[in-house]
Amino acid sequence: MSPFFKRIFLVLLITLAVSSATYGQNNTQKDSTNLRYNFKNTQKGGLYLDDLAKKEIVFDKLLNKYVIVEKIGNYATRTPIYLTPKEYQQYRLKRDMLQYFKDKVSATNSKKKGAKLAQKDLSLIHI
C-alpha cells in the first residue's frame, strides 16, 4: 500500500473516532429513578444520613488515661483510643473550638430553628 493511502486511511480513522466520541457525549437522558426514602438536606452525614455512632469517653484510673470508644448502641464500632490527660486536654480544646465555630456559623442561617436566640450571641463586643 502506498504512503498516500495510508495517510488517507489514518485521517478517516481519526475522524470516525472523534465523531463517535462527540456523539456519545451529547446523548444525555434525565434520571428517572425515584428514591424509596425522602432525604432531607438538613440531615447530617454521608448521603444526608445522621451519624449513629456516639463517642463515649471514660477515664481509666489504673492506666491514668482517657479512653474514647465509638459505639452504636452497645456495640463498639472502632478500636478504642487511649489519650494521656495532656493529649485529652488538647483533643477537648480542639473539639470545643470546632463546635463553637459550628454554632456561630449555624446562627447566621436565619432559616434554622432557634436562629433568633443564637444570633443574640453574635453581637459585637462592647469595649
3-class DSSP string for 52-111: CCEEEEEEECCCCEEEEEEEECCEECCCCEEECHHHHHHHHHHHHHHHHHHHHHHHCCCC
pLDDT of 85 reads: 96
Q: State the pLDDT at residue 122.
A: 64
CA distances from 39 to 57, 85, 94 (A): 31, 41, 31
pLDDT at 110: 67
- As given in the structure block, the three cell numbers for residue 100 are 463553637
> Any idea of the CA torsion for 94, 100, 105, 108, to the nearest 10 degrees?
-170
Q: What's the pLDDT at 127?
A: 47
Successive 10-residue mean pLDDT values, the chain, 127 residues: 81 79 61 67 60 89 95 90 96 94 78 66 55
